[in-house]
Amino acid sequence: MSGYVMPGLPKYGAIELKEVHQKYLTRALIIAAVSHLLLVGLYWGSTVLGKEEPPTTIVKIVKYSDLGPPPSIAATEVAPAVSMAGPTAKPSIGIPVPVPDAEVSPEASFASQQDLSSMQSPVTTDVGGSAVIEQDIEVDEPPPAFVPFEKEPVCIKRVEPTYPEIAQKAGLEGSVYAKLWITKEGKVKEVVIMKSDSEIFNQAVIDAAGKWLFTPAMMKNGPVAVWLAVPFNFTLK
């Protein structure tokens, strides 16, 4: 049956298949390669066209003369723009009127250019872009508990504490021991209560001792600040 061929049909067999096999295989490979190239080209084309363009920054240059005057600090309304072009009107000139010296306030005077140039600026150095301002600030710190001195402070003004009215009515008596911080000028800078028989007397002692005046304690180099312990007795008469 393998060698039988129906009448009217072309001869078709292994020999014919071998003859057309190479031709159709080559065509199939070319078609596949072209199809793949088209697909790859469409993919990359869509990727490139789909990228967003970076935003465009528009820089507008404005002349300083077109900005107009700056806004007022006191007023909230914006000042109208002043045109820089064109002729300007001639300002009117008035007649100066003398003012008596008695009517001139000394607070209204302004420093002259010479006075300003003679003033020393507190800005001395520049560190990291920021100005360093020097200020002569004297820090008043309390003296230590024990300060040697050659001459002790002497009280030249003594104010007696007021006897609290509540303590008088209640018949309370007692003593308060306080230490006074006496400065180099002989003034009482601070009053510290060390011991008290009753807290009702403390404020009276603080108020009175703060008004005391002393001759300052002296050392060979000059006056020194010291602490001085002072007792206060409250006794009903």
Alpha helices in the chain (DSSP H): 14-49, 113-118, 165-170, 202-209
Q: How do residues 126-176 score in pLDDT, each as one tens digit?
A: 545 454 445 555 567 889 988 899 999 999 999 999 999 999 999 999 999
What CA–CA distance (Å, rounded) separates 29 from 23?
10
Q: How do residues 179-215 score in pLDDT, each as one tens digit?
A: 999 999 999 999 999 999 999 999 999 999 999 999 9
Strands 226-234 and 174-182: antiparallel
Closest CA to 164 of 174, 150, 153, 156: 174
Q: Can you give the residue range of the structural domain that contains 28? A: 9-48
**66 lies in some domain:** no
**222 lies in some domain:** yes
**208 lies in some domain:** yes
Specify the pLDDT at position 52.
65
Q: How many domains does the chain have?
A: 2
**166 lies in some domain:** yes
**140 lies in some domain:** no
What CA–CA distance (Å, rounded) separates 63 from 69?
13
Q: Which residues are CB-contacts of 3 (< 8 A; sequence separation ≥ 6)?
A: none
**149 lies in some domain:** no
**129 lies in some domain:** no
In this structure, what CATH number is given to the domain that contains residue 183? 3.30.2420.10
Specify the pLDDT at position 1.
44
- DSSP for 104-125, written as a single string: --GGG----HHHHHHSPPSEEE
Using pLDDT thresholds of 50, 70 and 90, give the confidence band for residue 54.
low
Task: Output the CA angle 158-229-235, nearest 5 degrees.
Answer: 60
Kindly report whether the global pTM for this prediction surpasses the value 0.85: no
Specify the pLDDT at position 21.
74
Closest CA to 173 of 226, 230, 119, 235: 235
What CA–CA distance (Å, rounded) separates 226 from 153?
9
**201 lies in some domain:** yes
What CA–CA distance (Å, rounded) separates 51 from 71?
45
Can you tell me whether residue 49 is helix, strand or coil? Answer: helix
Using pLDDT thresholds of 50, 70 and 90, give the confidence band for residue 44.
confident
